[in-house]
Amino acid sequence: MAKRMQGISPFYVMDLLQRAKQLEQQGKDIIHMEIGEPDFPTPPAVVEAGQNCIKQGEVKYTAAAGLPELRAAIAQYYRDTYGVTIAKERVFITPGASGAFLLALGVTLNPGEEILMADPCYPCNDNFVQLFGGQTRFVNVAADSHYQLNAELIRRNWQENCKGVMIASPSNPTGTLITNEALREAIRQTQSLQGCFYSDEIYHGLVYGDPAASALQFSDDVFVINSFSKYFGMTGWRVGWLVVPEEFIDPTERLAQNIFIATPTHSQYAALASFLPENLRVLEWRRQQFAERRDFLYENLIRLGFEIECKPEGAFYIYANCRAFTDDSFRFAAELLETEGVAVTPGKDFGQNNNFFIRFAYTASIARMAEALQRLERFICR
């Protein structure tokens, strides 16, 4: 086994998900609040576009960088949504956002170099860094910075072997956003240190107050990762994208040619339909539903005694402190699943100092969450 595998951590929630599936097969009713997958089906216009591509029979390789029409549509989306102009050649279509992370790190990161990330953060990002021989320098963040890195934290934690900074806004697991000014200053600080800035924007669109800013509004010299999985509701289609600085177009295309060949063709044609006006109206209605779910779950978790220092502003997660009930959130989550059939994610998945936290995903309906909260209250009281 390759030595690099010693540093690749498991995604603990997948063990809980596997157990939840086993319990369902045994006939137990499980309420899923553990994985980041919307319960809404893929929108009809997107399904139809994918089916039409398959029916036509021309499901062959696209260019490694992706369908030209889809790259152009994403560039237009940035003009319409963020007021920024980018050349479509800077947009690369990838097999999910995971593929975008692999390309971004593959063309920039050398063995032994470090990437700064907030703790808590999405665990796979650290594993991507380790895959390329790098290391993650975790920076503890708290409510005072909305669980986000900022320019001062970057300056204080920067070391000689640092390559860059990765910021996720909205964040998984906390659902918090970085402010526009803090994002601008974080980019400026990183670039003054001659570092790369990676902006994880896969939850853009799922924001419930002021819209999130893209890093591209403040600099062209950034790597922006996004996806059709979350806001666009296309998790299983596996389509993401990466926007690179102009000088990285050629190396990114060479790397994509070698490790991906191409993103699935029918999925790319399906994604192209995501930008149709009728589909965007469906997505906006869904966003409003998520906002209502957030408020419902937030208020009831507070009522039950969970501590939530920052009300989430985006994504579909609440990161709640459960210290009133346990000092081992993994055991808490496992026992909650076994006794009450409610699946949640322990904080152990998201960093080094998160054993008092549980991530609740509000990807189930309010009716199902109401049932889950009744079960959770019964579990706590018992």
Report pLDDT digits (tens) over 304-335: 999 999 999 999 999 999 999 998 999 999 99
- Averaged pLDDT, 240-247: 98
Question: What is the tens place of the pLDDT at every residue in 142-162?
Answer: 999 999 999 999 999 999 999
Domain 8-36+279-381 matches domain 45-275 at the CATH topology level: no
* pTM for the structure as a whole: 0.95
In the chain, % of residues over pLDDT 90: 90
We find that the CATH architecture of domain 8-36+279-381 is Alpha-Beta Complex (3.90)
Cα separation, 221 vs 243, in Å, equals: 10
Question: Residues near 148 by Cβ (< 8 Å), separated by ≥ 6?
Answer: 118, 141, 167, 169, 171, 176, 177, 178, 182
Whether the predicted pLDDT of 167 surpasses 90 = yes
pLDDT at 128: 95
Q: What are the DSSP calls for 338-357, one per residue? A: HHH-EE-EEGGGG-SS-TTE
**Hey, is 166 helix, strand or coil?**
strand
pLDDT at residue 47, rounded to an integer: 98
Give the pLDDT band (50/70/90) at residue 11. confident
Separation CA 34–CA 363 (nearest Å): 9
Domain 45-275 in CATH 3.40.640.10: yes
CA distance 15 to 100: 25
343-348 average pLDDT score: 92
The domain limits of the chain are 8-36+279-381, 45-275
Could you tell me which residues are beta bridge partners of residue 370? none
Instruction: Report the SS3 class of residue 174.
Output: coil
Q: Is the pLDDT of residue 12 over 80?
A: no
Q: Kindly report, residue by residue over 280-295, the tens digit of the pLDDT.
A: 999 999 999 999 999 9
Average pLDDT, the chain: 95
Q: Which pLDDT score, from 0 to 100, does residue 351 have?
A: 80
| pLDDT, tens digit, 9 for 90 and up, residues 250-273 | 999 999 999 999 999 999 999 999
Q: Is the pLDDT of residue 353 over 80?
A: no
CA distance 196 to 202: 19
